[in-house]
Amino acid sequence: MRTTPRLWRWRRNPLRRVSDVVEAWTLLFTLLLAAVLAPLTGVVVAHADYASEAQQGRAYHRTTAVLAATAPRQVVDATTGQRLGQVPAPARWQGPGGVTHVAYAEVQPGAKAGTRTTLWTDAHGRVGSAPLTGGASQAQADLIGGSLGCVVVAGLLGGHRLAVRATLDRRRARQWEAAWAEVEPRWTHGRA
């Protein structure tokens, strides 16, 4: 019965070195650490992102603006050559303290001047993007959290590979050279 190459370090074997056992145990420890840290990182980051999105949703409010000029009938994306579904057009609205603001709003192509449109503004009258809905915000938070969890796993395994295995490989090479320096004269009978 054959054993898989990955498990040979765990079996009793006269060729097994101490460095093989150290590498196997540190890899196991790294995998366990990754199994704990990856989900923990994902949950913490997802919660923070969801809270940030919720705060942004509270910071921006819906504002009605009026188009100051007729929107272009057709706008083509220069890179893809496709028509855009929404086009920018100048819009006016009253901000805090009765101050009139003007900014570009995304509207349907050909929308006439005087048409009402919705903008999202903060307490200072600055235009922002519409806040994500609950489901979209949660999905974004979960995606970011899951991605960073994967980064943690990759970082831990890559760190193990670079730090532990590289160190052990250098040690093994020195041991092999020392052993070869001892055996080589007997094999070559002094001929080099």
Residue 192 domain-assigned (yes or no): no
If asked whether residues 68 and 116 sit together in one domain, one would say yes
* Rounded-to-integer distance, Cα 15 and Cα 179, Å: 14
Q: What is the mean pLDDT of each run of 10 residues along the chain (192 residues)?
A: 56 78 86 89 86 78 86 77 78 82 85 88 78 79 88 89 89 91 82 61
Enclosing H/E stretch for 184? helix 166-188
Residue 192 pLDDT: 57
Domain boundary among 130, 145, 160: 130
Which residues form the domain of 87?
61-130
If asked whether residues 137 and 52 sit together in one domain, one would say yes
Domain count, the chain: 2
Enclosing H/E stretch for 107? strand 100-107
Strand pairing class (100-107; 61-67): unpaired
* Rounded-to-integer distance, Cα 137 and Cα 4, Å: 45
Residue 24 pLDDT: 84
Residue 10 pLDDT: 64
Contact predicate 43/145, CB 8 Å: yes
If asked whether residues 88 and 67 sit together in one domain, one would say yes
* Rounded-to-integer distance, Cα 146 and Cα 42, Å: 5
pTM of the model: 0.57
